[in-house]
Amino acid sequence: MSTAGELAQDVQAAIDKLTEVPPEHIGALIDEYQGVLNAVFNGSNSKLTAAAIRDVALAKSKVEEAYKFVVLTAAKYGEIQENIGVSTGPSVSASSGSKGGSSPAAAAGTRTAKPAARKHPPATFGWTTDFNYRRTFFTANPETKGQVWVHHAVERQVITNYPGVVAPQEMHSLENLRGIPSGEVNRKVHLSALRRAWNAFYLANPNPTKQQLLDEATRLDDLYGNQFNPAIREPEKDEQ
Amino acid sequence: MTFYQLEPEVPGQWGANTQLDTSTHPPVVQRLHLELDCWLGDDLITSFPAYLVTPSAAERLGEASLTGFELRDAEINQSEQSIEVDGPEEIPAFRWLHITGQAAQDDFGIGAGNELVVSQTALEILRAGTLANCEVTEYSGSEAV
């Protein structure tokens, strides 16, 4: 379990990633930027702009993830604060998403331990009203068009198997999409491993929660994410 | 008699015309629509909680007077993304292998852990076709999950 100091540092680091833009407006703001970039890309078709589009999409994902992290970690921080008897210091507001007064890290007063860096982000959902998921993926990753199979990290049929657990707007969001190289790798990874794993999950889980579905997606990302395009896990090192 | 637990390949996902009763686990399939996108060629395939067989396997099973299954119609097509990436492929008219038997009693049954269990005879009939991507283990009973 993390110490209060570690959690406080994590909270502070996450807050530092946020801008003064209210968190509920961050996604829309970046969508707006992405729309402009898309328009430029369609006109110029430059590789540089394509890379910018991808970076903006990634930035959106990371900022939204950071915001969720603040909300979740703030709750843990509050519990630990009570347990260790720290009674002062600001609360981290889920609705403000910005700094207020002294930092929770300072309030905790135990900053000796370096927080354990999360090596890889867990699977998460975003939100989209565009259910053309391949368009969503290729807009964010235009250089992969024609080279990858677009796969849902949490499979689409979850909507059929477990009605009401995952909204279609979450299911088809960029955060839930993975690019699997077409051809032999696609068949091996996409079918033999991912599909089989999900089938076993469905057999064993009558009523999974959304988090359990995401946990399974994270587990599969950990196993196969280095083969995706873009890779979402570090490539395996050549042992030879 | 020896029985075997089978984990067939999973070459697709439910199509839009699938109808399920999800009030129970596993859900009850009322109408089966499967969109294939990576079929590797086995005669037996699955997509939770249903099983399907190729027409040739269905014919062999039907002629063998085995117990514990019914053959039903299913709607099968190649997924849109598969057509775009792989090109149009010939898809057999898979039959829905609806399991009605008890594990380790009938030739086809569902175990307490929702696994597919078949008799030695059923396995041999399936293996007369293609079963290269199906995991086969000897069945020793199961516990509910």
Domain ranges across chain A: 4-108, 133-227
Q: Chain B partners of A195 at a C-beta cutoff of 8 Å?
A: 9-11, 38
The pLDDT tens digits for B7-19 are: 999 999 999 999 9
Q: With cut-offs at 50, 70 and 90, classify the pLDDT of residue A146.
A: confident
In this prediction, residue A58 carries a pLDDT of 64
**Who wins on pLDDT, A183 or B71?**
B71
Q: Chain A partners of B81 at a C-beta cutoff of 8 Å?
A: 134, 149-150
In this prediction, residue A141 carries a pLDDT of 96
Cβ–Cβ under 8 Å, residues A3 and A73: no
In this prediction, residue A112 carries a pLDDT of 35
- Which residue in the set A149, A157, A207 is minimally distant from B14, CB to CB? A157
In this prediction, residue A177 carries a pLDDT of 96
Tell me what ipTM this predicted complex has: 0.90
User: Which neighbouring-strand residues pair with B9?
Assistant: B45
**Who wins on pLDDT, B62 or A13?**
B62
The pLDDT tens digits for A194-209 are: 999 999 999 999 999 9
Checking if the pLDDT of A97 tops 50, the result is: no
The residues, ordered by sequence, that sit 6+ positions from A14 with a Cβ below 8 Å of its Cβ are A66, A67, A69, A70, A73
One DSSP character per residue, A124-162 reads -----S---HHHHHHHH-GGGTTTEEEEESS-TTHHHHS
A215 HSE (CA, 13 A, CB side): 7
Average pLDDT score over residue span A146-162: 92
DSSP A232: S
- Which residue in the set A156, A191, A200 is minimally distant from B40, CB to CB? A191
**Who wins on pLDDT, A127 or A184?**
A127
Residue of A nearest to B32 (CA): A160
In this prediction, residue A50 carries a pLDDT of 59
